[in-house]
Structure 1
Amino acid sequence: MLNGTEAEERRYLEIILKKLRQALEKIDEKISTSYREVIQAKKYMWENMAAIDPAERAANRVDVSLAIDFGEKAVDKRRKIHKLIQSPYFGRVDFIGDNEAEAKPFYIGVHSFAEDNGHENLIYDWRSPVSGIFYDFGVGKAYYTSPSGLVNGEIRRKRQYKIKDGTMEYMLESSLNINDDVLQKELSRTTDEKMKNIVATIQKEQNTIIRNETSNVLIIQGVAGSGKTSIALHRVAFLLYRFKDTLTSRNVLILSPNKVFSDYISNVLPELGEEPIAEASLEELAARELAGVCKFQTFSQQVSELLDTADDAMIQRMKYKASPNFVNELDSFLEHIDSQYYVPADISIDSVFISQDELLRSFQATKGMPLKQRLDKTASVIAAGKRDADGQKLTPSTTRKVKSAIAKMLPFQNVISLYKQFYLDIGKPEMFQWKRAKTLEYADVFPLIYMKNYFEGTTSYEDMKHLVVDEMQDYTPVQYAVLSKLFPCKKTILGDGGQSVNPYTSSSLAEIRNAFPKRTSSSFSRAIVRPFKFRISHKK
């Protein structure tokens, strides 16, 4: 058996470290060469600009771009090798497939590593399929899913290591999934408030959550200190690795109430080999959506006002707009706008006649588009298809008159007037109050954005393919409804359902789940997290 004793393991570590250092030297040389090539190419172009023909200039630009791209990839590889030199691996699992003659050792680290001329990895990334058996199984029968299918076999040995600054501090044999001794040692080493990566101590239940690829919405619930945030970030790192051809850090957004979270997690993803991920707050999203529409009270201003005054009317407005039924009332109102408020009439302008029926048919043909866009589309289609008394296309002046007449068939010229009408329709006009001139109460911000999505559409977030929502209990059902519209992508949602900053606007777990569309084939998963113990339930 390869490296059966601790002494042999220490010698093997030195061999791996030597290979890593050699790889580092080679990559440094490649980076230097790439840098020199870029400088020389740019210098050549500058000095010979007048003499270079367009074809050569274009070819030179391509060469420079390729050299820069190669250099950036080399820099990223160098960063990973630097990390491995500090701690090449933390675990080993010896696995023999059912159709194999002998067990093969898999050393598991934060990144993978193979020699340039090697056909197999010397170190396997913790997110790779085979590494999953390190977390999910003890010694005995095991399996993992490879690109070619399920691989059944047996684990003959498991080991865990603590390697720091290239020195092995300890090595433990482990017949269990994750040895408690390792866990306790790692927990006792926490010396600051920065979150650490936990790849060496991930337990089976945690691994199930991290490697979940199928759930459109994964809800992780746990009290403070349960590890839910760390699990969520490791899940993001896994997904970036698993879907690296279609998912990058630029396609992921973390939605958090404050920047403390950002400071807290700032070093985790880089430690796991991923680029930092963009983070935003709900208020930043709201400011983007309502730019040019109106100003609004912030969440912190709302909380301060609640602490300073006992405004029962404001509390009632907040509680009403934070209720699950409020979203249903909004939907019901929007659903009937077509029939109640769009009432077309015959138009006769500059010898051009447009019938009521034609206006109605054209408008109904645009169903599914935002309301304002529907009117614009209806007006454009009708104007383009009409001819004047001489059989000519409409003049620009007549076209403008036709479009203006059609736009006026809807009594709402902006989303604010539409929002006010909602409260008149439901017989609760007192539920809408300006905080001050053209400034919304915070409770109105997301209902207005929800309505804006219907009225004129919203800012596109098509590049976002995964959304992480922190402190799930502090979001209202209408806020989740807005997130569902803005981000129709997969989501990881985490928080503590029993704790909220504002008791009047918190959401229960059931309310959060109900906020997402049921008509789709979305798969929901829920993980209840306690410190180092997880219970998972699934709902399709």
Structure 2
Amino acid sequence: MSENVQSAYREEQDKLDSVLEEIGTQLARLRAVPVYTGHDFTEQVLEAGREERRQRLSKSEPEPYFGRMDFEEDGKPAPAPLYIGKTGLDGRDPGSLPIVVDWRAPVASLFYSFTGGEERVEYEAPEGVIGGAVHLKRNIMVRKSELERVVDTYTRGGEEPAVSDEFLLYRLGENKDNRLRDIVSTIQAEQDKIIRAEKNKALIIQGVAGSGKTTVALHRLAFLLYQYKEQVSAEKMIIFAPNGMFLDYISGVLPELGVGDIQQRTFTDWASKLLGAEQMLADPSETLDFWFGESGGAAPGDDAPGRFKGSERFRAMLDAAASALEASGAPELEFSPWDGKTLPYETILHWYADEYKHYSASGRKERVLARIRRWIEMELKPVKPETLRKEYKKKAVQREKAYAKKWPDFSPLTLYKQIFGAAKDTRGVLPGEAFEGIPASVLKSTRKDLKEGRIREEDLPPLLYLHLLLNGIEGTERFDHIVIDEAQDFSPLQVSVLDRFVRGHSFTILGDLSQGIHAYKGVHAWEEMSGLFGADETSYHALTRSYRSTMEIIGFANTILTGGVPNAIEAVPVFRSGNKVRTIEFGAGEKESAEAAARAIRALWGREHKTVSLLTRTQDQAKALHEALLPEFPELNLIDGGMTQYEGGLSVLPLHLSKGLEFDAVVIADAGRNRYGDSEWDAKMLYVGCTRALHELWVLHGGETPAFLDRGGEWSEAGWPKI
């Protein structure tokens, strides 16, 4: 260790001791105050503030900060050292500089955006643009209140070159457990730009595999809560993720950042509950089994049920159907509560079409019927004698109930059934020719499902859209911000629906078109989503640098893209080298496949890897492989779509469920032509599987492989390794 490094280490050890002492002092003072449990509101607010500080200090004690930047502000005589942490730590004296600066504070943006050089730098603060010079940028690792690592990435006037990637590579080289972790200490400049982007825009983020887009989105939520604390609340934010297991995988990031109460759901769970349709949902495995079987064919076209039902052309049909139903809402009948008394149809229509036109269709119906009941009450008052009034009232109640039944059912499901011919349009509202654009196969299969009382995930967006058109939306149902993860698997209609649930188009929409393996329902180009917003309502960001995998794994995965996916965006790896990708032929047959998988596990599991996964094409193949390997590997976990927790360790799962997850080592169980064809869709599937690996990737195959799969070359080596 050089003298400069030793000096820096001693300096930081002294600083750490001082900060920990201050944290301990502040904690002791707060803990000495008795916890208030009374009913006085003012005291309750004060106690809540004290408890929040207790928790924040306790959380920061093991790792109070991770970086230091010496910044000389314009007009100041000398640079001031700024320590950056997950949470801020104020000094004891009012008006004094913070001991630790919150990573979300404006000045902390310099720590992420500055990459070297002696030019003047600036950052935006509430009081305006502040400029100055950076003298030192230092990464510091503190764990369990112990100083472990000090790395200077920039020293002004220093002769040694900046080593900005050294600390990043150190962190990337660590093994994974069963949870995604925060990246506060290693946020890169391009990621920080997205995190700090303005709130009221739909951000569309195209991020290659391993670019950290999910983690960036979670950090963006924490930033928005800090930056716009008076405008947004955690309870009014929601993250939509692909499945329950993925939600469990990312569940630790926000608490690590000191953020709680943000909703985390799948779109299916959220939408079906809102519609009250949970019991009608078909088993999604049927759809997955159909599309992820060994098709070897082309990716689904626009007439696939999910693509069609999520399209703008189908939305136009839904608009037309809802408009036709709403326009004919009031039945062309006068209302007579008893003989000799009549409420003209023209009056009822005026209430419906004019006085209540700003309400939803169902709201207008409710208000008209309520007004009719009030009209009946007013007309009954002058009726005498009492016996006659009671007789009229009894008749009025009966006739009002009969009249109400003549109004249309503004239920989205009823209208949806009529659109597909699964229920009769008894009022003749919907013109048949308006829906001639529905593909015959979609019409037939959907009609059958609806008649049998079943809906599929692809039906939820149009049903929810009809719900909004016919019933409107409650103010309490609106969100301050929505994150859509794996957004390439969402349809334009899904995003259109969600846009009505969020204020100011405040979205973080992230995904990777090269991982669009759910092409039967998702978008094929980001323009399908950006076109939903005005030019000033959206912004596009591309993250092309991959931080997950080694150069060898990314290089191998890129050969799959260049060979099988036209115009694909290749990932640019960080300079982190590892072993070459292993491409291993095991012969032919299920027995040989299982034996090869077992041999791979023996070589990889129990060494330095904490998480190892076997990836198959289908759930049935995963189940068969699990049964074959379980006697030798009882710790092997079988993962299916119904699981809500990822336990880490050794696992076998279908490839489509691995999206978003990371493993120290990945074994593609069989990449042969018996499982994958030469289509773009097949290439994307194998690309997803290969890019799950952080440190080691083995590709097993039973002979011939797809044309795009490179079995040799610069990034791979054939055959079993010598161990």
TM bucket, shorter chain: 0.7 to 0.9
Alpha-carbon deviation of 1:231? Answer: 0.6
**C-alpha contact 2:84 2:101 (8 A) present in aligned 1:** yes
Cα deviations across residues 229-261 of structure 1 (Å, max 9, x unaligned)?
Answer: 111111111112222344333222111121222
Listed as ranges, the gaps of 5+ residues in structure 1 are 39-59, 536-540
Q: Which residue of 2 aligns with 1:56?
A: none
Checking the alignment, whether the CA contact within 8 Å between 1:28 and 1:78 is kept in structure 2 is: yes
The amino acid of 1:28's aligned partner reads: R
Inter-CA distance 443–374: structure 2 relative to 1 (3 Å threshold):
same
The 1:374–1:267 alpha-carbon spacing in structure 2 relative to 1, beyond 3 Å, is same
Aligned residues with identical type, % of pairs: 27
Query: Which range moved further: 69-78 or 465-474?
Result: 69-78
Preserved contact between residue 223 and residue 496 of structure 1 (Cα < 8 Å): yes
* Structure 2 CA distance for partners of 1:216 and 1:461, relative to 1, 3 Å: farther
2:323 to 311, 330, 335: 335
What CA distance in whole angstroms lies between the structure 2 residues aligned with 1:479 and 1:334? 18
Equivalent position of 2:312 in the other structure: 324
State the SS of the aligned residue for 1:169.
Answer: strand
SS of 2:220 mapped into structure 1? helix
AA matched with 1:95: F
Instruction: Give the drift of 1:463.
Output: 5.8
Aligned with residue 16 of structure 2, among 7, 13, 17: 13
Q: Determine if contact 2:417/2:447 at 8 Å carries over to the other structure.
A: no
Distance 2:507 2:131 in 1: 32
Structure 1 equivalent of residue 71 of structure 2: 95
**SS of corresponding position for 1:219:** strand
Give 2:469's aligned amino acid. Y
1:88-237 equivalences in 2 (<5 Å): 88-118=64-94, 119-137=96-114, 138=116, 139-165=118-144, 166-174=146-154, 179-237=164-222
Q: Counterpart of 2:420 in 1: which secondary structure? A: helix
* Partner residue in 2 for 1:437: 452
Cα 1:293–1:354 change in 2 (3 A) is farther
Q: How has the CA–CA distance of structure 1 residues 168 and 319 changed in structure 2, closer, same or farther, with 3 Å as cutoff?
A: closer
- Specify the SS of the correspondent of 1:195: coil
Q: Compared with structure 1, are the counterparts of its residues 92 and 317 closer, same or farther at alpha carbon in structure 2 (3 Å cutoff)?
A: closer
**1:296 and 1:18 mapped to 2: Cα distance?**
57
* Structure 1 segment 377-456 matched on structure 2, within 5 A: 377-385=367-375, 388=379, 397=394, 400=397, 403-404=400-401, 407-412=404-409, 414-423=411-420, 425=432, 426-427=435-436, 430=444, 432-435=446-449, 437-456=452-471
Q: Take 2:307 and 2:291, find their aligned partners in 1: how far apart are those partners?
A: 13
8 A Cα contact 1:240 1:247, kept in partner: yes
CA offsets per residue over residues 379-438 of structure 1, 9 Å max, x none?
323443565498569975466467546545544464333223323532456463243632
Alpha-carbon shift at residue 469 of structure 1 (Å): 1.3
Shift of residue 288, structure 1, vs aligned partner: 1.2
Aligned in 2, Cα 1:434/1:309: closer, same or farther, shift over 3 Å? farther
Q: Partners of 2:162 and 2:322 in 1: how far apart?
A: 53
Look up the match of 2:343.
Answer: 354
Amino acid at match of 1:289: L
The alignment yields a C-alpha RMSD, in angstroms, of: 3.6
Q: How does 1:297-308 map to 2 (within 5 A)?
A: 297-306=282-291
Is structure 2 residue 491 aligned with structure 1 residue 476?
yes
Question: 1:298/1:496 Cα in 2 relative to 1: closer, same or farther (>3 Å)?
Answer: farther
Give the TM-score taking structure 2 as reference length.
Answer: 0.62
- Secondary structure of 2:516 counterpart: coil
Counterpart position of 2:245: 260
Match of 1:373 among 345, 363, 366: 363
Distance 1:507 1:152, change over 3 A: same
1:487-524 Cα offsets, whole Å, 9 max, x none, are 4462212122232343311113222233x455xx9621
Aligned length: 502
Distance change in 2, residues 1:193/1:441 (3 Å): closer
1:491 alignment counterpart: 507
C-alpha distance after superposition, 1:211-242 (max 9, x if no partner):
11244311222232111011111111111222
User: Quick one: distance in 2 between partners of 1:240 and 1:154?
Assistant: 29
Tell me the distance in 1 between the aligned counterparts of 2:6 and 2:77. Answer: 18
State how far apart, in whole Å, the 1-side matches of 2:292 and 2:273 are.
28
The more displaced of 73-82 and 207-216 is 73-82
* In structure 1, C-alpha distance between the alignment counterparts of 2:352 and 2:364, rounded to whole Å: 7
CA deviations on 1:341-376 (whole Å, 9 max, x unpaired) are: 655233344233222322222111222422222112
CA distance in 2, matches of 1:213, 1:392: 64
User: Residue 122 and residue 488 in structure 1: after superposition, are their counterparts in 2 closer, same or farther (change >3 A)?
Assistant: closer
Segment of structure 1 superposing worse, 229-238 or 274-283: 274-283
In 2, Cα distance between the equivalents of 1:113 and 1:291?
46
CA contact (8 A) 1:344 1:409 kept: no
For 2:193 and 2:202, the matched residues in 1 are separated by 15
2:39 is aligned with what amino acid?
R
Letter in 2 for 1:134: F
Distance in 2, matches of 1:484 and 1:438, equals 29
Structure 2 CA distance, aligned partners of 1:381 and 1:217?
42
1:14-33 → structure 2 map (5 Å cutoff): 14-30=17-33, 33=34
Matched, 1:291 2:276: yes
| Contact 2:240 2:483 survives alignment (8 Å) | yes
Shift in alpha-carbon separation, 1:280–1:292, aligned structure 2, 3 A? closer
CA contact (8 A) 2:268 2:460 kept: no
Q: Is the 8 A contact 1:136 1:203 kept in 2?
A: yes
AA aligned opposite 2:204: I
Equivalent position of 2:661 in the other structure = none
Q: Which residue of 1 aligns with 2:639?
A: none
Task: Say which of 33, 36, 39 aligns to 1:61.
Answer: 39
CA distance in 2, matches of 1:502, 1:228: 19
Q: Distance in 1 between matches of 2:287 and 2:218?
A: 30
Q: Does 1:500 align with 2:504?
A: no
Letter in 1 for 2:259: E
Q: C-alpha displacement at 1:161, in angstroms?
A: 2.0
Note closer, same or farther for the CA distance 1:298–1:469 as it changes in structure 2 (3 Å cut).
farther
Take 1:443 and 1:349, find their aligned partners in 2: how far apart are those partners? Answer: 45
Paired residue type of 1:155: V
The CA deviation string for residues 40-69 of structure 1, in whole angstroms up to 9 with x for no partner, is: xxxxxxxxxxxxxxxxxxxx521xx65565
